[in-house]
Amino acid sequence: MKKTLLYTGFAVMLSLSATAQKNPDAVKFSEIINKDRAYSHLSVIASDEYEGRETGKKGAWMAAEYIKKQFQSFGLKGPVKDGTDPYFQKLGYASISLTKSVLAVNGQTKENLKDYYITPSGVSAAGFDVKATSILFAGYGISKADFNEYEGQNVAGKVVMIFATGDPTAKPSSTPQQGRRMPAGPGSLQVKLKYLLDNKAAGVLVIDPTVDNLSPQRKAVLQNSNPYLKTDERMKNMAAATALPTIAIGTAVANQILAAANTNLDDLKKKITETVKPATVSINIPVAFSAASKETDVRAENVLGFLEGSDPKLKNEVLVLTGHYDHIGLNNDPNATDKVYNGADDDGSGTTGVLLMAEAFTKAKKAGKGPKRSILFMTVVGEEKGLLGSEWYAEHPVFPLANTIADLNTDMIGRIGEEYLGKADSANYVYSVGSSMLSTELGQIQEKINNTYTNLKLDFKYDDPKDTERIYYRSDHYNFAKNNIPIIFYYDGMLGKDYHGLGDEVSKINFDLLAKRAHLTYYIAWELANRANRPVVDKNQDGSPKTTN
């Protein structure tokens, strides 16, 4: 029979029920975590000189160098062995640029980024060169039992033209889904292209009306792709994306092709929608399109500082303290007076917290009071691009994930969020996210430590499975949590106009509150690094109790 582990949680609850006595050593070395020291770091990290710290850009490299020098000055070791710098874990990060982009219809050469575009990430190193004497127009590209636009057609070796989006048979959902990724439907471009790839089409012309009015920013991306992370999963996805030569065409090119069949986009859309019947037709018009690309490595690194534990039996276990040092870079509006997205709160504040804790723990070790377990202080890059730095570490861990006991992540700990403005406890709260998601025990440890040392109001709002903001999934702790490593994510809830805005400045940071939140993280880290046992993982990824047979 199945038996839940309730007895374990009950025993832990009894052991932690009373407020513990303060550890005088922990208190002594916490003094370095103060508002003045916080300001000294954050005023540099979030300065205009660092240009918003965008991943892959000069400002981020400057921030990485600053953090490295701080780690060195504290006495932390660089643990990275497979690079030129032991403090830098270099990400496999690269961009793709087009070196060739050609489209000709009926012998007429079209203009790139005006009449069509080819996505750089959709072109492999080998490139492609497609030529055909006719084009198969297949409407919306739908292939399902009651509406199959490929019925009676063999697409192998053919160039197929389809609308980028839409499904004339789709019914609007009366129950919108929140907080859940739904499977792609037959009207999604992903599904349409997979059908054509599986059936060996030679290439695809995707009718995309946005081609008619591309913004300067979009054009820049389409000439040189945003850098991408070369993890195993992403590389597999990219290989699939480049397997089928695909080009997006605007309405002018599409109508030129359709004119050869005495029709046009508007008439065809109306016909298909009203009749809910396919209007597939082979059009005798020659087309040729080709592309080539090159990949360029982009510098991006996580910055790691390592403090080895003092207990021979426990030092192989590692506690990780994280914060992301990157932000979103510069304001490209030529009329703007403020050019820098400083990211003081997001996440200069959390990075500052990591630096303060690193200095406190290294001072403790120098005084003979070092932690029993090892601690990895890691400021990660690429969070704003999609949690890239922590994803890279999770796939290429410097220390085995099996030996990693927890991750405490500080991402935005320097401001008062909108919900707390004007409230009595506005300067004495923090959102605690995920503390009991995987480990009941870790949540109870947090409660004990907070009651003993800091007495912050812990707000668990974002632990609600119905949270529409999905905060639990939106910072670097998640790449540890998805590998069953217990986490706590500390966050101030600042999601107003200054979030990713030009107003996220050092002048708006509450340094007393930043220091207090860093104190809470530090004291929990002290407890985790010195207690006899690592936190028990007693829950599944969805927060449900683990069971044993």
Q: What is the mean pLDDT of each run of 10 residues along the chain (549 residues)?
A: 39 49 97 98 98 98 98 98 94 93 97 95 91 97 93 97 91 46 59 94 97 90 84 81 93 98 96 95 98 94 98 98 98 90 98 98 98 98 97 97 98 97 96 98 98 98 94 97 98 95 98 98 98 97 83
Q: What per-residue confidence (pLDDT) applies to 401?
A: 98
| Long-range pairs for 334-340: beta carbons < 8 A, 24 or more residues apart | 336/502, 338/502, 339/48, 340/48, 340/51, 340/52, 340/502
Q: What per-residue confidence (pLDDT) applies to 57?
A: 97
- Contact present, 430 and 490 (Cβ < 8 Å): yes
Q: What per-residue confidence (pLDDT) applies to 8?
A: 42
Q: What is the pTM of this model?
A: 0.84
Q: What per-residue confidence (pLDDT) applies to 475?
A: 98
Q: What is the set of domains in the chain, with CATH numbers?
A: 40-91+300-542 (3.40.630.10), 94-170+183-296 (3.50.30.30)
Q: What per-residue confidence (pLDDT) applies to 237?
A: 77
CA distance 336 to 280: 50
Q: Map tokens 């085995």 to a residue.
A: 400
User: In sequence order, which residues have a C-beta less than 8 Å from that of residue 336 and are 6 or more positions away?
Assistant: 502
Q: What per-residue confidence (pLDDT) applies to 172?
A: 63
Q: Which of 114, 398, 389 is nearest to 227 (CA)?
A: 389
Structure tokens at 246: 């695909």
Relative to beta strand 429-433, strand 374-380 is: unpaired
Q: What per-residue confidence (pLDDT) applies to 428?
A: 98
Q: Which of 143, 139, 138 is nearest to 158 (CA)?
A: 138
Q: Map tokens 């640029």 to a residue.
A: 97
Q: What per-residue confidence (pLDDT) applies to 181?
A: 37
Q: What per-residue confidence (pLDDT) applies to 187?
A: 63
3-state helix/strand/coil string of 117-182: ECCHHHCCCCCEEEEECCEEECCCCCEECCEECCCCCCCCCCEEEEECCCCCCCCCCCCCCCCCCC
Q: Which of 34, 41, 62, 42 is nearest to 504 (CA)?
A: 42
Structure tokens at 97: 């640029």
Element (H, E) at 375: strand 374-380
Structure tokens at 262: 């005495």
3-state helix/strand/coil string of 67-116: HHHHHHHHCCECCCCCCCCCCEEECCEEEEEEEEEEEEECCEECCECCCE
Q: Map tokens 């054009």 to a residue.
A: 219
User: In sequence order, which residues have a C-beta less than 8 Å from that of residue 147 and are 6 or more positions away?
Assistant: 168, 169, 276, 277, 278
Q: Which amino acid is at 227?
A: P
